[in-house]
Amino acid sequence: MNTESASNYERVDGTAERMDTPYDAWAASQGIDVVKGYGVANVYELPLKWWDRMGGHGVFINLQGTGYLDDAYVCSIPPGKSLNPQRHLFEELVYVLDGRGATTVWQGNGAKQSFEWQKGSLFAVPLNAWYQHFNGQGDREARLLAVTDAPLVFNLFHCEDFVMNNPYVFSDRFKGEEGYFAGKGRLYKDRVLETNFVADAIHIEPIAWHERGKGNRTIFFELAESTMGAHVSEFPVGIYKKAHRHGPGAHVMILTGQGYSFMWPEGQERMRFDWSPGSIIVPPEEWFHQHFNSGDRPARYLALKMLSRRYKLVPGKIKSDVSIKQGGMQIEYEDEDPEIRRIFEESCARSGAEVQMPKR
């Protein structure tokens, strides 16, 4: 039997041994910058470059904690203009950073459905439907933040034409029906709101969820039959949430308040990220993370992520409010490092906020 020697194969230059993924190659072809790291200090201040495909200015945000399941981008719409019509096989959640405008969505040659949005609005683009964003103001740009599962989809199919020009219509998700984005929905008892449009995530009323920490209020969103999901959480002055961990890809964006977050792999040193409105962090997979409101007003954040409670990628109950001692994902206050409480009390003292945490 003949055995081929490794010397019979073409050798590759060492610089090419670590190849980029198909998604990386596609993102690089877009001609805009890519922000990396563990967080973004202020998404409103990111510099943008002209993005031919979109017809506006944009930047990618590909943070360490995404696990290549999802990504984010910011795109601006010039005053009084629109972005280019788009469709694609990756899902997309859209949050309006600034401005007012409208989006039109349609399937093939079907009727077009349009809805208006403002700063704070949240919606999802139905999978592979055509859509186009319009700036409704003639004197200022509008800015959108989107979180998509493009990395997962591009790396699975590694064919741009298939992902970007696929004619298949997912009519089980969107048929072009009137009122699809009217903002109506169903609120379930476990704090889940099933809807296709949230008019104002900054001021929507969350629901008490004390298991995640004293004073915590949260509301989850299921949008456009997507396998992606979102939630808004709010916690009062002088309060912090319990530490927990989960899978990758949750883009946590601060909507209101001042504070900081810790992130750390189990048994290792904590990383601190100070935040204010516009900050984004993405905790890596299975890293504990904990959010602290050390300012003088309630803090609120929006999480955009690869996690739907209706269309789960992994079966079973989500145990984000169950103690790790009981097989869950959460560290209870009495089990945390006492240094965490001490740092929080010092931070509140500097801002003049009264600590409202329960006694140990």
Q: Are 336 and 279 in contact (CB under 8 A)?
A: no
Q: What is the pLDDT of residue 123?
A: 98
Instruction: Give residue-wise pLDDT tens across range 317-338.
Output: 888 899 999 999 999 999 999 9
Q: What is the pLDDT of residue 303?
A: 98
Q: Is the pLDDT assigned to residue 316 strictly greater than 90? A: no
Q: What is the pLDDT of residue 16?
A: 47
Q: What is the pLDDT of residue 119?
A: 98
Q: Are 46 and 56 in contact (CB under 8 A)?
A: no
Q: What is the pLDDT of residue 6?
A: 52
Q: Quick one: 10 exposed, middle or buried, by C-beta within 10 A (0-12, 13-18, 19+)?
A: exposed
* Contacts of 282 by beta carbon, 8 Å cutoff, 6+ apart: 38, 39, 63, 64, 65, 66, 248, 249, 250, 251, 252
Q: What is the pLDDT of residue 4?
A: 53
Task: Provide, rounded to the nearest whole percent, the portion of the chain with pLDDT above 70.
Answer: 94
Rounded to whole angstroms, what are the CA distances from 118 to 100, 177, 303, 358? 4, 23, 19, 38
Output the six-digit token pair for 278.
């516009």
Rg (the chain; Cα; Å): 22
Compute the average pLDDT of residues 95-120: 96
Compute the average pLDDT of residues 19-32: 92
Instruction: Give residue-wise pLDDT tens across range 55-78.
Output: 999 999 999 999 999 999 999 999
Q: Are 151 and 228 in contact (CB under 8 A)?
A: no
Task: Provide, rounded to the nearest whole percent, the portion of the chain with pLDDT above 90.
Answer: 86
Q: What is the pLDDT of residue 9?
A: 64
Q: What is the DSSP string of 116-140?
A: EE-TT-EEEEPTT-EEEEEE--SSS
Instruction: Give residue-wise pLDDT tens across range 237-255.
Output: 999 999 999 999 999 999 9
Q: How far apart are CA 260 and CA 174, in angstroms?
A: 39
Q: Which domains does the chain have, with CATH numbers?
A: 19-164 (2.60.120.10), 185-351 (2.60.120.10)
Question: How confident is the prediction for the chain on average, in pLDDT?
Answer: 93
Output the six-digit token pair for 136.
């409704």
Give 10's pLDDT tier (boundaries 50, 70, 90).
Answer: low
- Which residue, chain included where needed, has tokens 């910058």? 33
Instruction: Give residue-wise pLDDT tens across range 139-184.
Output: 999 999 999 999 999 999 999 999 999 999 999 999 999 999 999 9
Q: Is the pLDDT assigned to residue 276 strictly greater than 70? A: yes
Q: Quick one: 327 exposed, middle or buried, by C-beta within 10 A (0-12, 13-18, 19+)?
A: exposed
Nearest residue to 97 via CA among 215, 253, 286, 292: 253
Give 358's pLDDT tier (boundaries 50, 70, 90).
Answer: confident
Q: Is the pLDDT assigned to residue 302 strictly greater than 70? A: yes
Is residue 232 helix, strand or coil? Answer: strand
